[in-house]
Homo-oligomer: A and B are copies of this chain.
Amino acid sequence: MNTGIQLLGILVVFCPVLISCWNLPRNDNYTYPELHLFEQKLDHFNPTVDTTFMQRYFVSNQYWKKGKGPIFFYTGNEGDITAFINNTGFIWDIAPVFQAMVVFAEHRYYGESKPYGDIQPSVNTTAQYGKLTAEQALADYAEIITELKEHLGYNSIPVVAFGGSYGGMLSAWMRIKYGHIVNGAIASSAPVKYFPGLTNCEKYNQVVTSDFASTAHGPQCVKNIKMAWSVINETVAQAGGLRKLSEIFHTCHQLKSAEELTDWIKDCWSNMAMVDYPYPANFLNPLPGWPVNVTCSYLSVPFEGSDLLKAMYEAVSVYNNYTGKTPCFDTTSAISSSISNSLWDYQWCTEMTMPFCADGVRDMFLPQKWSYENYVKNCKAKYGVIPRPHWAIVNFGAGNLKSASNIIFLNGDLDPWHVGGILEDVSQTVISIKMWGAAHHLDLRHGNKHDPISVIEARHTEMMHIKKWIAEASNIIA
């Protein structure tokens, strides 16, 4: 395509030999992509419904070689798309190399692409939320890409889908379901097999635990975290216990139960394991480099009673107040505002049934069984819906991907989601890359001098395949 790419090819070949690979230069010079609005059909699967809504997507032509360069299309996931624009530096780093147009599309119902505005999913709004599904989101993206190509007058432009986490599932599914529209997919940390019967519900928390255990002070850290659950429960059993805990943990409102605090802390650990990046980053929350390590540094010696609780407060502050600007902790939500909790919870309650559990032995959490009955009961109570746990498997095939092509599944061993990912090559064109020392879709971030070698290599492999997909697509076109 150009000498940059040829050079890249040479580097990719020598990369595993040279060990100290050429790291991609970080591109900070990109101009922010331009906002566009797409009038999208609310229900792609019912021709009698004409309702539409306005969907956001952002386009950058800065590096695009008109009529020649591909489209790099980020399949937005469960959050405001601007969070992904800012946290998917890999696309910006490689866009100049491939002379690509860059598009970030927002997932329906999230961010500013809300068909019904700000109303939240509940038993009273069930009817308005029936069109919040992965299938509808994929159809949205198919429509946007088709319109883009037609508008540009280049129907034959190769398209590569990118996505991380649920967005990675969507990018893989775009290639699987709309292979005529998308020529290949980068599916990073995409737990496409994280469905009932396919992934053991204990595994996620075992990885979280192993992440904490493998830090410098890991064994003592895990011991303290495990012990804290009973100390919290014992404190609550005492007179004024909840008040005391509220004070120690600087909660914004007085705690109503021990579970409120233990659930919130559990979510902190889970989320931190996901974003355990080797350098300071701001994805879910602003965090230092290797935040799990920093957290464990506060739990590196044996503590007891109130001392343990105070140490725990310091430890959770790493995830919740790294900036030092958070006056108090809102224990009703562990995840930052860039990812919408209740909307994803609604999706989890309908089609994205992903079971979690803990035994407190092979993991550091309070034992919690996965009860399908409770799950159904809670989802019905919260949203008036009955989950369809088998549908995602029937519709998307989970790990049964022999008929698919041109997908790279990337997974990091530090990322607890990898347990539901594709961890072995399916074929020559549906491949699995394991990134040692990497958390949740680290490869999709800007190149960084602290990146583990596995991620540097992974990005080169991604680029090699992208190059191949573009060449294939151009042959098809020619």
Interface mask (A178-200 → B, CB under 8 Å = 1, otherwise 0): 11110100000000000000000
Chain B residues within an 8 Å CB radius of A406: 403
Q: Is A142 an interface residue (CB 8 A)?
A: yes
**Are A386 and B50 in touch, CB under 8 angstroms?**
yes
B-contacting 9-mer, from A212-220, A281-289, A394-402: A394-402
Q: How many residues of A contact B (CB 8 A)?
A: 50
Chain B residues within an 8 Å CB radius of A403: 175, 179-180, 183, 405-406
**Are B402 and A476 in touch, CB under 8 angstroms?**
yes
Provide the bound-state CA to CA distance between A142 and B44, in Å: 19
Q: Is the interface of A mostly helix, strand, loop or mixed?
A: loop
Chain B residues within an 8 Å CB radius of A183: 403
Chain B residues within an 8 Å CB radius of A388: 47
Q: Is A301 an interface residue (CB 8 A)?
A: no
Chain B residues within an 8 Å CB radius of A176: 179
Given contacts A177-B177, A400-B180, A403-B179, contact A385 B48 (CB under 8 A): yes
**Are B351 and A47 in touch, CB under 8 angstroms?**
yes
Q: Is A391 an interface residue (CB 8 A)?
A: yes
B-contacting 9-mer, from A28-36, A131-139, A223-231: A131-139
**Are B350 and A48 in touch, CB under 8 angstroms?**
yes
Residues of A that sit less than 8 Å from B by CB: 43-50, 126-127, 129-131, 133, 135-136, 139, 142-143, 146, 175-181, 183, 350-351, 384-388, 390-391, 394-398, 400-406, 476
The 6 residue pairs across chains A and B that have the minimum distance between CB atoms: A179-B403, A180-B397, A47-B350, A48-B130, A180-B400, A46-B130
